[in-house]
Chains A and B, each alone.
Chain A
Amino acid sequence: SPETEASDVFEAEVNKTPRSKHWISLGSEKEIDEELLKETREKLMLKLRVDRIFRLPICFSDHNSADSKDSHLECASYQDSRFNIKKLQSDFGIQAVPKLQSNSTQTLRMVPKDAFTQYEPREFSNEELENILQDESLKNCCATQTPRILHALQQEEIMNVFIDDWKALGTGLEAGEWSGQVSDSLVLHQIFTNQKYSKDKKISCLNWHPTIYGVIAVALIKKKEEQTEESPLLVPRPAFIVFYSFSDSSNPQLLLECPDDILAFEFSPSNPNIIVGGCVNGQVLLWDISVHVTYLQAAHPGSKKAATNPDTFDLNDNGENKTPVVRFSAVSALETSHKAPITDVQWLPQTFEVTGMGLPVENKMKVSVQIATCSPDCTIRFWDVRLANLLIHTPLDRRQTDQKTPITACSIPETFKHLDRTWKPLFRVSLPKIDTKGEYVPLKFSFEHYTCSTEKDTENKWTENLPDYSQLRMPLTEKLKAMEDVNTKFFVGTESGEIVYTDWKLESDESGRPRSTKPLLCFNTHQWLVNTVQQSPFFKDIILTTGGWNFAIWKEGVMGGPLVVSQYFEQECTVGCWSLSRPAVFFIGKQDGSVEVWDLLKNSSEPLQLHAHISNTKITCMKPWVVSAKQHFLAVADDLGVLRVFEIPKTLYVPSRHESLSMKKYFELETENLKDYLRRKEIWTKQKKEVEELKKM
C-alpha cells in the first residue's frame, strides 16, 4: 500500500541521512583567524573645538597628509642589507619541444630539347629527276594544266580586275587624304594673350622655339605713350619675354625677366636654351633656360589639365600656378654697350666666327658663339659669348663678383657668369655716309648665313648633346684658319629708309687703328623706317626689305638698285617675311592690321591674297614656321600685345612645279630689266645734257 511505501522511503531516507563527520583541523581556522578583522584597541575619540560663529554651517573635507611635509611624521621603510636572502634555488619548468621544419626539394628534370635544328630540303638526285621527267603522269599533268594557266595569264593581260577605281582617282593629289573643306586662305589656329603681361603692351619681336613644338616667345614692350607719361622717379615695370604654348593660350609657360624693354631677341642656333636679347638701354642680355625648359616641354595638351585639377594632391602644385621666371644670365658692360636701343640682334652661324678685325675664321667647335647687334647709335657691334683667355688669369676679379651677388647664385644659371657686366664687344662697324658727312642710322640688318659645302646634316641640326656655353673658351686667333669664301658684306636698313650694302671687315687706317670701310651701295628706296631686311630661305642673294609704304626685293651683286619695288601703298608696310616652303611667296603686314600674301610668279603688282582686319592695330611681327610636312603656321603679332597663329593652307605651302627654277629665272629676268633700264636712263640723261648744251649755244 502507498502508505507503507512512503514510510519505507522515509525510513530509507532517514537511514541514508549522512552523519556529520568529526572535523579534522588542517590549519584552515588559523587562516580564517588571520583574515578576520579584530579591533586591537578601542576606537579613539577626538573632541575638537573650532572657533566659529555660532550656528554657521561647517564643512569638512579630506586632506591628504602626504601633501605637506610637516603634517605627518613617518618611519620610512628601507631595505636593510643584513636581511637579504639570496635565492639559491628556484623552480623551473622545462619542456623539450622538437623543432619541426618543413622543407622541399625538387630535382631538375632535364628534358632533352633541340637547341638548333638545321634542315635542308629534300631534293631529287639527277637520276630520279630524269626518271620523273619521263613519267607519263607528269606529261598528262602538263597537258591538262597548261591551258588553265594560259587562260589565267590571258585574263591578266586583258584586264586588271582588282583595280580600285575609287582609289585610283586620288593619285593626282595625295592618295588617301580627303578633307571635307580645303581652304586656300589663312585659317586662325589660336590667339594668345594674357591679361597680366600683355595688357597695354605691344609685341616688338617674336620667335618660334626651334625644337619644342607649339612654343612661341614674344617680347612685350611698353607703348610709347606710356613711356612719356611715367615719371622718371618711378621704377619701370619689369619687362618680360613671354613664352606661349599651343596647349594654353592665355597663360604663359615661361617668362624671361629683362631689366627694360627688349626690342629684338634670338635663340642660339646651336643650343635653343640660350637666348640673346637687345635692350632699349643699349645693353645686350643673355638668358639660359636649360633649367626651365622642362616646363616648356611638359606644356602639351593633356598634361596641363592634370595639373589644374584642384582635387589631386600634387607636390608640384605650388609651382604650377605661378609661371617660372628666368632672370638674365649676363648683361653687357654699360660703357661699351650701344648708346641707343638695340633694334636688331642676330647670332652668327656655327660655320664661322670672326676675329677682332672682322676677318672670318673657322669655327672649330661648330657652335654659334658670336652675336651681331645694331642700333640707331650708328654702329653695329659684334660680340663673343665665350670667356676670353685673358680673364682666366685673374681669379681675384671673379671672386669679387661672386661676393657681390651671393643671393643670385642659386637661381640664375652660371653659364655666362664670366660675362656679366664686363662683357665688351669684339669690334664695331660704323656706317659712314658714302657721299656726305655723317653716318647711316641702322635699324635692321641681314647677312648671309654661310653654309659649309661639307656639311650635309640640315635635318639633324640639333644634336643630342647641346653645347655647354659655360665651357667654351676663345681660341687664339692666330691658330685658326682664315675662311676666304665667307661673304662679309651685308645689307642694312636705316631709319631714313635707305638700304645700305657694306662690309663688316675692318681695315687699318693711316695711324694703324681699325676703321670701317665706306659702304658699297646705298639706295633710298623706302622713305621711312626700314623694319625688315630678310634673306630668302631659298636664294642666299635675294633680300626682301620692307619699310615706309613699300617693299623691295634686292639681289646681292646687282649694283643698280632693287630688282623689284612695289608701288606705294596706302598703308605702311610694317613687317615682311618670306614663306619657308615656297620660294615665290612672302607675307607683308600692314599698319591697319591686314596681312597680304604675295606670289611673285603669279602677280608682282598685286597681292595674291589680302586678309584685312587680322587685327585692329598695326602688325608688328610675323614669322612662319614649319612643324611638319603638312602643318605650316604663321605667327602674327600686333600692337595690342596679341599673338595670333594661323595655319597656312596647302595652296600656300606646297610649291608649284619647278617653283625654285621659275623664281631663279624671274630674278634673272628682273636683273636684265634693271640693267636695261639703267642703261637707258644713262642714255637719256646724256641726251638731255646734250640738248641743254645745244640750247645754251
Chain B
Amino acid sequence: MAEVEETLKRIQSQKGVQGIIIVNSEGIPVKSTLDNQSTVQYSALIHQLVMKARSTLRDIDPQNDLTFLRLRSKKNEIMIAPDKDYFLIVIQNPSA
C-alpha cells in the first residue's frame, strides 16, 4: 500500500502531470488520482489501445513485446507503461 502511494506521489510531483491511473490486465481501474468518470473512461479506452498495440507488435515479431506507449495529442500527452498484470497511465500537459 505504502509503495503504491509513494509511486503516485513521486510521479505526481513532476511538472505538468494531470493524472495517474493504475489499471489491471482486464481494464478495471485499481488506483487513480482523477475523478471516477474520467478514470473509468480512460481505463476502458486505453486498455483496448494497449491490447491492440501489443498484439500488433507480437504479430509482426512474436519475440517482441510492448514496453512503453506514448500518445501525444494537441492538448496533452498520455504515457502508458504496461506490465505483466497491470499498467500505469500518466496524463501530462507538457506546456503547463
Name A's B-contacting residues (CB within 8 A).
Answer: 121-124, 129, 132-134, 137-146, 148-150, 152-154, 156-157, 160, 162
Contact = CB atoms under 8 A, between A and B. Distances in A.
Interface in B40-66: 40, 43-44
B92 A153 contact: yes
**A-side binding surface: helix, strand, loop or mixed?**
helix
B30 A129 contact: yes
B13 to A, nearest CB: 10
A148 B69 CA distance: 11
A133 B31 contact: yes
A123 B87 CA distance: 16
Interface in B1-54: 1, 3-4, 7, 10-11, 14-17, 22, 24, 26-31, 40, 43-44
Nearest to B10: A146
A152 B83 contact: no
B44 A145 contact: no
B84 A153 contact: no
Interface of B: 1, 3-4, 7, 10-11, 14-17, 22, 24, 26-31, 40, 43-44, 67-68, 70, 72, 77, 79, 81, 83-88, 90, 92, 94
Given A121-B44, A156-B77, A162-B72, A146 B7 contact: yes
B80 to A, nearest CB: 9
B81 A148 contact: yes
Nearest to B11: A149
8 contacts: A138-B85, A141-B86, A141-B88, A142-B3, A143-B3, A154-B14, A157-B94, A160-B94
Given A132-B24, A137-B84, A142-B4, A150 B68 contact: no
Contacts of A153: 11, 14-17, 79, 90, 92
Given A149-B11, A152-B70, A152-B79, A138 B90 contact: no
A141 B84 contact: yes
A141 B26 contact: no
A142 B3 CA distance: 8
A129 B4 CA distance: 12
The 3 closest A-B pairs by CB, nearest first: A145-B81, A141-B83, A142-B7
A150 B14 contact: yes
Contact of B86 (A124, A137, A146): A137
Contacts of B15: 153, 157
A124 B32 CA distance: 13
A150 B88 contact: no
B91 to A, nearest CB: 11
Contact of B11 (A122, A138, A150): A150
Contacts of A149: 11, 79, 81, 88, 90
Contact of A150 (B10, B22, B27, B70): B10
B26 A122 contact: yes
A127 to B, nearest CB: 13
Contacts of A137: 84-86
B86 A138 contact: yes
Given A141-B84, A141-B88, A142-B88, A156 B16 contact: yes
Contact of B28 (A124, A143, A157): A124
Contacts of A140: 83
A150 B88 CA distance: 12
Contacts of B44: 121
Contacts of A138: 4, 22, 30, 85-86
Nearest to A142: B7
B23 to A, nearest CB: 11
B8 to A, nearest CB: 9
A134 B1 contact: yes
Most interface-central of A121, A129, A157 (chain B CB within 10 A) = A121
A156 B94 contact: yes
Contacts of A132: 24, 30
Contacts of A141: 22, 83-88
Contacts of A133: 1, 4, 30-31
Contacts of A148: 67-68, 81
Nearest to A122: B28
B92 A156 contact: yes
A121 B21 CA distance: 15
Contacts of A144: 83
B68 to A, nearest CB: 6
Contacts of A146: 7, 10-11, 88
Nearest to B24: A132
A124 B30 contact: yes
Contact of A123 (B28, B84, B85): B28
A493 B5 CA distance: 83
Contacts of B70: 152
Nearest to A160: B94
Contacts of B92: 153, 156
A152 B14 CA distance: 11
B40 to A, nearest CB: 4
Contacts of A156: 16, 77, 92, 94
Contacts of B16: 153, 156-157
Given A124-B28, A153-B92, 12 more contacts: A123-B40, A132-B24, A133-B30, A133-B31, A137-B85, A141-B85, A142-B3, A142-B4, A145-B88, A146-B11, A153-B11, A156-B77
A142 B31 CA distance: 12
A160 to B, nearest CB: 6
A141 B85 CA distance: 8
A139 B3 CA distance: 7
Nearest to A137: B85
Contacts of B94: 156-157, 160
B30 A152 contact: no
B28 A145 contact: no
A145 B68 CA distance: 9
Nearest to B17: A153
A150 B30 CA distance: 20
Contacts of B40: 121, 123
A132 B86 CA distance: 11
A144 B68 CA distance: 12
A152 B68 contact: yes
Contacts of A139: 3-4
Nearest to B86: A141
B37 to A, nearest CB: 10
Contacts of B3: 139, 142-143
A187 B40 CA distance: 59
A143 to B, nearest CB: 7
A133 B5 CA distance: 10
A150 to B, nearest CB: 7
Nearest to B37: A121
Most interface-central of B29, B79, B81, B94 (chain A CB within 10 A) = B81
A141 B82 CA distance: 9
A152 B69 CA distance: 10
A188 B3 CA distance: 74
A19 B47 CA distance: 115
A56 to B, nearest CB: 121
A243 B44 CA distance: 63
Contacts of A129: 30
A251 to B, nearest CB: 50
A148 B26 CA distance: 22
